[in-house]
């Protein structure tokens, strides 16, 4: 835990970075430098042999702009350390290669790229992976007893916004000496702090809310120094560290993270409450609604319910496509977490490769739309949804 323990998230996002450059700039400038000079061989060896942290070579992650970003990222999650990567998938694959070699138990729904690694590529390398239901403690117990060393989960999940109990899962995993890593991309560090609930590692696709403007691709892991340390060589030699320009852009975005997330939360809640009244709406999936199956857990483990929302239409695939096409302020595009609202139909995008029965088993109906609620005026977003839904009433 850093000495920001007593600060709130908005303060951490702004003051998490303590390093200043030689001229006292309030933020770390972009060191677009690939290599750094030393006065003596001994001074160089101190850094290259890991006795002192300092700039050396940017691909290794040894760059002042990256260090400054990582201080903020660590402060935001209440972590000892954080490392930044060139994408969310770079962070996740490096995590799996480092800590997954004894076997990985993956719980519930996860992002398609993570799933592809777990289902196809890691087994090719001889890494045992187990895709388990989210809420099956007995299946997890068997997997842990068989020696799996890493439990991996997302909460809330994509696209059904299912909640998993981080604390209960961490307690179970720790009884077997396994690590728990949580992809907290949907929640953000503002709404959820997995480390404080017992997780060992937090992963983010910083491409989403942390970046927040759909203009950068980045990833991050946060956790205790000793847990992250073995990942360092993998990041170095896979070449997956974030480059300085991306790091500076992400640092800048983090300064407004708390402000943005509060607005995402407020708008999504208002939309979730308004939608059930409209004709054609079969179901609204949002953890902030009392009828959401994970609502009680969300109240316990989250400080806000997030900006992602599922909208299931009674008219199925055609109705969902029609509404998506009629929306004017929700742009039809994958991804999430930006200032602009986005809409996708998971059966045509993120989950297109699954058979219809498999999607149904996972609760992903063909009439489901996934909304990433942006930062536009809430009333404008509700009016846009209202007019798009009204189009279902005309032939
Ligand atoms: N995790 C989640 C929950 C995601 O939604 C995504 C991408 O959509 C990723 C990880 C991968 O992130 P990136 O696209 O930055 O590699």
136's CB contacts (< 8 A; 6+ apart) are none
Q: Ligand 1: which residue has its CA nearest to atom 12?
A: 88
Residue with the two structure tokens 């179970």: 172
Q: How far apart are the first and last CA of the chain?
A: 59
Supply the pLDDT for residue 147. 96
Check whether residue 206 and residue 133 sit in a common domain. Answer: yes
Assign 258 to helix, strand or coil. Answer: helix
- List alpha helices for 164-274, DSSP H: 166-175, 188-191, 225-228, 231-238, 244-254, 257-274
Residue 234 has pLDDT above 60, yes or no: yes
CA-closest candidate to residue 188, choices 270, 253, 269, 142: 253
Please report whether residue 2 resides in a domain: no
**How does pLDDT run across 156-187, given as a tens digit for each residue?**
999 899 999 999 999 999 999 999 999 999 99
Please report whether residue 4 resides in a domain: no
Whichever domain contains 146, its CATH number is: 3.40.640.10
Sheet containing 104-107: give its strands across: 81-85, 219-223, 201-205, 179-183, 150-154, 104-107, 129-132
Question: With contact defined as beta carbons under 8 Å apart, do 288 and 269 qualify?
Answer: yes
Show the domain range for 190.
Answer: 9-254
Query: Which protein residues are within 6 Å of ligand 1, measured from CB?
Result: 87-89, 111, 113, 154, 158, 183, 185-186, 205, 207, 217, 219
Among 219, 239, 254, give the residue marking a domain's end: 254
Across all residues in the chain, what is the average pLDDT?
95
Question: With contact defined as beta carbons under 8 Å apart, do 57 and 34 qualify?
Answer: yes
Which of 21, 57, 59, 252 is catalytic? The answer is 59
Assign 90 to helix, strand or coil. Answer: helix
Check whether residue 35 and residue 164 sit in a common domain. Answer: yes
Supply the pLDDT for residue 330. 98
DSSP readout, 115-149? HHIIIIIHHHTT--EEEE-TT-HHHHHHHHHTT--
Residue 2 has pLDDT above 60, yes or no: no
Supply the pLDDT for residue 217. 98
**How does pLDDT run across 366-388, given as a tens digit for each residue?**
999 999 999 999 999 999 999 99
Whichever domain contains 374, its CATH number is: 3.90.1150.10
- 32 among known catalytic residues: no
Q: Ligand 1: which residue has its CA nearest to atom 14?
A: 88
Four-point Cα dihedral 333, 336, 340, 343, nearest 10: 40
CA-closest candidate to residue 186, choices 320, 382, 371: 371
Check whether residue 47 and residue 182 sit in a common domain. Answer: yes
How would you class 178 by CB atoms within 10 Å of its CB: exposed for 0-12, middle for 13-18, buried for 19 or more? buried
Tokens of 152: 């991996």
Check whether residue 41 and residue 78 sit in a common domain. Answer: yes
Supply the pLDDT for residue 1. 44
Residue 74: strand pairing partners: none
**How does pLDDT run across 125-153, given as a tens digit for each residue?**
999 999 999 999 999 999 999 999 999 99
Over residues 323-343, the mean pLDDT reads 97
Supply the pLDDT for residue 395. 73
Among 220, 254, 288, give the residue marking a domain's end: 254
Q: Ligand 1: which residue has its CA nearest to atom 13?
A: 88
CA-closest candidate to residue 202, choices 243, 155, 169, 148: 155
Among 229, 254, 279, give the residue marking a domain's end: 254
pTM: 0.96
Question: How many domains does the structure of the chain reveal?
Answer: 2
Tokens of 128: 């045992």
Residue 311: strand pairing partners: 284, 369
Check whether residue 173 and residue 322 sit in a common domain. Answer: no
Check whether residue 121 and residue 217 sit in a common domain. Answer: yes
- 165 among known catalytic residues: no
- 57 among known catalytic residues: no
**How does pLDDT run across 278-306, given as a tens digit for each residue?**
999 999 999 999 999 999 999 999 999 99
Check whether residue 238 and residue 312 sit in a common domain. Answer: no
Percent helix, strand, coil in the chain, to 5, is 45, 15, 40
Distance CA 196, CA 191 (A): 12
């Amino acid at each position: 835990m850093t000495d920001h323990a007593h600060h709130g998230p908005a303060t951490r996002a702004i003051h998490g970075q303590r390093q200043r450059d030689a001229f006292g700039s309030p933020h770390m400038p972009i060191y677009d430098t690939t290599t750094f000079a030393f006065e003596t061989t001994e001074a160089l060896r101190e850094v290259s042999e890991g006795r002192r942290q300092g700039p050396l070579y940017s691909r290794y992650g040894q760059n002042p702009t990256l260090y400054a970003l990582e201080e903020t990222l660590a402060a935001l999650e209440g972590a000892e350390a954080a490392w930044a990567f060139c994408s969310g998938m770079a962070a996740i694959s490096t995590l799996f290669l480092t800590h997954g070699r004894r076997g990985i138990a993956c719980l519930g729904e996860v992002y398609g790229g993570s799933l592809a690694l777990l289902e196809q590529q890691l087994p090719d390398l001889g890494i045992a992976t187990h895709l388990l239901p989210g809420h099956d403690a007995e299946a997890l117990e068997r997997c842990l007893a068989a020696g799996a060393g890493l439990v991996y989960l997302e909460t809330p999940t994509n696209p059904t916004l299912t909640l998993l109990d981080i604390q209960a899962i961490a307690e179970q995993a720790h009884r077997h000496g396994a690590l728990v890593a949580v992809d907290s991309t949907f929640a953000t560090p503002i709404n959820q702090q997995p480390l404080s609930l017992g997780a060992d590692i937090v992963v983010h696709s910083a491409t989403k809310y942390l970046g927040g403007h759909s203009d950068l691709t980045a990833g991050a892991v946060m956790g205790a120094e000793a847990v992250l340390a073995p990942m360092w060589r993998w990041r170095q030699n896979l070449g997956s560290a974030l480059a300085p320009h991306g790091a500076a852009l992400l640092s800048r975005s983090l300064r407004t993270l708390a402000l943005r997330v509060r607005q995402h939360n407020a708008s999504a809640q208002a939309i979730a409450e308004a939608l059930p009244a409209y004709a054609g709406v079969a179901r609204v999936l949002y953890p902030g609604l009392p009828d959401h199956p994970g609502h009680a857990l969300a109240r316990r483990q989250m400080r806000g319910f997030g900006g992602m929302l599922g909208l299931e239409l009674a008219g199925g695939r055609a109705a969902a496509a029609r509404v998506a096409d009629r929306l004017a302020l929700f742009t039809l595009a994958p991804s999430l977490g930006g200032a602009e609202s986005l809409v996708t139909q998971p059966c045509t995008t993120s989950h297109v490769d699954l058979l219809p029965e498999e999607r149904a088993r996972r609760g992903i109906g063909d009439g489901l739309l996934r909304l990433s609620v942006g930062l536009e005026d809430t009333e404008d977003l509700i009016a846009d949804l209202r007019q798009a839904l009204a189009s279902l009433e005309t032939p």
